[in-house]
Structure 1
Amino acid sequence: MTTPSTPSPAERKFHLPPVGTFGPFIALLIACTFFALQTDRFLSGENLSLILQQVAVVGVIAIGQTLVILTAGIDLSCGMVMALGSIVMTKFATDLGLPPGIAICCGLAVTMLFGLVNGLLVTRLGLPPFIVTLGTLNIAFAITQLYSSSQTVTDLPDALTWLGNTFGLAGTNVAYGTVLMLMLYGIAWFWLRETASGRHVYAVGNNAEATRLTGIPTHRVLLGVYVLAGLFYGLASLLSVARTGVGDPNAGQTENLDAITAVVLGGTSLFGGRGVVLGSLVGALIVGVFRNGLTLMGVSSVYQILVTGVLVILAVAADQLSRKGVR
């Protein structure tokens, strides 16, 4: 009688992921196939590039949201923090006459400051992330409206809108903002997968107390996650400004739910500790594909919202069932 050999570390590292990991990709392929059969315009290069441009802002916000949800938290303030960052960038550049680079850095600093506040309230005072970020959502909204006087900021320097420009690729115009989004996902994926600090994020989400007992500073990890999430919201601010060409104080009012939707559809567990950041990109694309495809088919936007809601419920239900180990 032979005893099965223990797999080597290399074998454990390169094993195939579970079938559930492919769920979001399969859903995306099915959606693309369906809409390709319904309209010839769907698979055109320009339309696919347009989908990527449309999901870029939510896609980058979803990176930060993924980090927070991996720690078993949630950030409801992300959309309004993004809007505040865009207003700070644009008004600092137009009203104060600061160089665009400095104005952008100021906007990033503001969004990271909000991330720091969220993190401190969660770690130092032990407040629930849901309540903390619900409060900072309203604070960010009020500051945005007061500072902008509820007016759109126009006449922006070209440097602030440069990411909205396009370049030719295989006969298709691709926005620089799309390239930035893909690069950010690549960086986030590598960090979470290949670095010790990235793996600590998963550990905290799995069991914060057990992680603390192993010597990992859980509060520091959580604080870093919220600050890093704020950085991604700031980069999303820049993408929003580049895409619209203005600083819009009314932006960001639905992006928080859109980002959470993308993360959930991408397979990240709302209970923390499980998920792949690239899945959030796929989740954002699923929503973008459905909205774009239904629009091409002439379907009312009300049905687009309905389909998105159904997809979210199905994704959360699948996550819940998998946690319970339903056979």
Structure 2
Amino acid sequence: MSDPALTPSGTARGRVNLAMVLRNPLIGPLAALVVAVAVFSLATDTFLTANNLSLILQQSVVIGMLAVGQTLIILTAGIDLSIGALAVLGTILMAKVSLDQGPVGGLVAAVVVLGVLGLVNGTVVAALRLPPFIVTLGMLTVVYAATQLYAGSTTYAVPDGLLTALGNRISIGNASTTWGVVVMLGLYVGAWYVLTQTSAGKHLYAVGGNPEAARLSGIRDTRVLVSVYFSAALIAALGAWAALGRIPNADPNAYQNANLETITAVVIGGTSLFGGRGGVVGTLVGTLIVAVLRNGLTQAGIDNLYQNIATGILVVAAVALDQVARRRTQ
């Protein structure tokens, strides 16, 4: 008896399955990550070591966390240009408020203030139907100026303790990393579960993919949009806490490129800027691609400006591929 897989119909099914796999937006980013790791492993003797791989993860923590919030927003066909500025404000709030109210007071203040600002972003976008780009650009300007005024353009040192706890090291077998890495990975697992296993996740994809169809099916897009921007702001507070674990100084001028870096990670990870397609697994891969690229090029002695050029080319290529895939599905 002939093997069904070798018959014409079996061959056709095999081709269809292969085509479906190749259309998966995660395949390209994963292949790029594997190639980058392979190239830098051959180019340098120090890249593929346990210490360096752990360092790459640690360097990814803050942007990796913020990119989760950015992913949620981009999946709704929005964008948040203020998420990095919110995180910086969070670090200043934690540092200054903790001087009088202790570290718990600092954490609570950051969560409350950033949560309110996230609600403002979401409410203006959802209720007034203003473009997210304009709304969050305005929020970026306001938050950056407010942070400078509140901090007095001063950097605040944060003593070891609760506010730097995510920088504490943890041993896993023979490897060593920080609690920040563990929390970041846990955040990705939680976000993946919400997006893929809950009705809230399905509603989010529906609003981003086809808002009119979502409305006709009874999904309240206003509630979805407000909750997404609010969640992203809370994640920014978590990113601020992780930032103090990485560097125990609250600097109002830190992470000025974080907004663009989160968008870069999301886009390279295969999430469509037009909404409704992608996910946080791709964002994690995109974050690691950028981190691997910067780490590997630094070890190879390549100037930082060339690293930015390489990252920019990756972003343009990812958006171009997304456009091609989108046109083919229309």
**Corresponding residue number in structure 1 for 2:218:** 215
Distance 2:240 2:22 in 1: 34
**Corresponding residue number in structure 2 for 1:243:** 246
Residues 37-66 of structure 1 show CA distances to partners (whole Å, capped at 9, x for unaligned) of 001110111100101111110000000000
| Alpha-carbon spacing, 1:114–1:131, altered in 2? closer, same or farther (3 Å) | same
**Corresponding residue number in structure 2 for 1:120:** 123
The correspondence for 2:313, drawn from 310, 315, 320, is 310
Give the partner amino acid of 1:199.
K
Q: How does 1:92-241 map to 2 (within 5 A)?
A: 92-94=97-99, 96=100, 98-241=101-244
Q: Shift of residue 99 of structure 1? A: 2.8
2:249 counterpart SS class: coil
- Indicate the RMSD between aligned Cα atoms, in angstroms: 1.6
Post-superposition, which runs of at least 4 consecutive aligned residues in structure 1 deviate over 4 A?
A: none
**Corresponding residue number in structure 2 for 1:86:** 91
| Alpha-carbon spacing, 1:145–1:126, altered in 2? closer, same or farther (3 Å) | same
Residues 230-269 of structure 1 show CA distances to partners (whole Å, capped at 9, x for unaligned) of 1111100001111101111111310000000000000000
> Within the alignment, does 1:272 sit opposite 2:275 as a pair?
yes
1:267 counterpart SS class: coil
Whether the 8 Å CA contact 1:31–1:290 is kept in 2: the answer is yes
Whether the 8 Å CA contact 1:90–1:156 is kept in 2: the answer is no
Distance 1:152 1:116 in 2: 28
**Corresponding residue number in structure 2 for 1:43:** 48
Q: Shift of residue 171 of structure 1? A: 2.9
The size of the alignment, in residue pairs, is 312
Distance 1:326 1:222 in 2: 25
2:157 counterpart SS class: coil
**Corresponding residue number in structure 1 for 2:35:** 30
Distance 2:157 2:24 in 1: 48
Q: Shift of residue 208 of structure 1? A: 1.1
1:99 counterpart SS class: helix
Distance 2:278 2:104 in 1: 34
Give the partner amino acid of 2:41.
A
Whether the 8 Å CA contact 2:158–2:164 is kept in 1: the answer is no
Give unmatched runs, 5+ long, in structure 2. Answer: 1-8, 10-19
TM-score relative to the length of structure 2: 0.92
TM-score relative to the length of structure 1: 0.92
Give unmatched runs, 5+ long, in structure 1. Answer: 5-14
Q: How does 1:68-87 map to 2 (within 5 A)?
A: 68-87=73-92
Distance 1:43 1:137 in 2: 38
1:325 counterpart SS class: helix
Whether the 8 Å CA contact 2:75–2:277 is kept in 1: the answer is yes
| Alpha-carbon spacing, 1:296–1:317, altered in 2? closer, same or farther (3 Å) | same
| Alpha-carbon spacing, 1:172–1:21, altered in 2? closer, same or farther (3 Å) | closer
Whether the 8 Å CA contact 1:264–1:312 is kept in 2: the answer is yes
Distance 2:170 2:200 in 1: 36
Taking only the aligned residue pairs, the percentage that are identical comes to 49
Distance 2:106 2:317 in 1: 42
**Corresponding residue number in structure 1 for 2:58:** 53
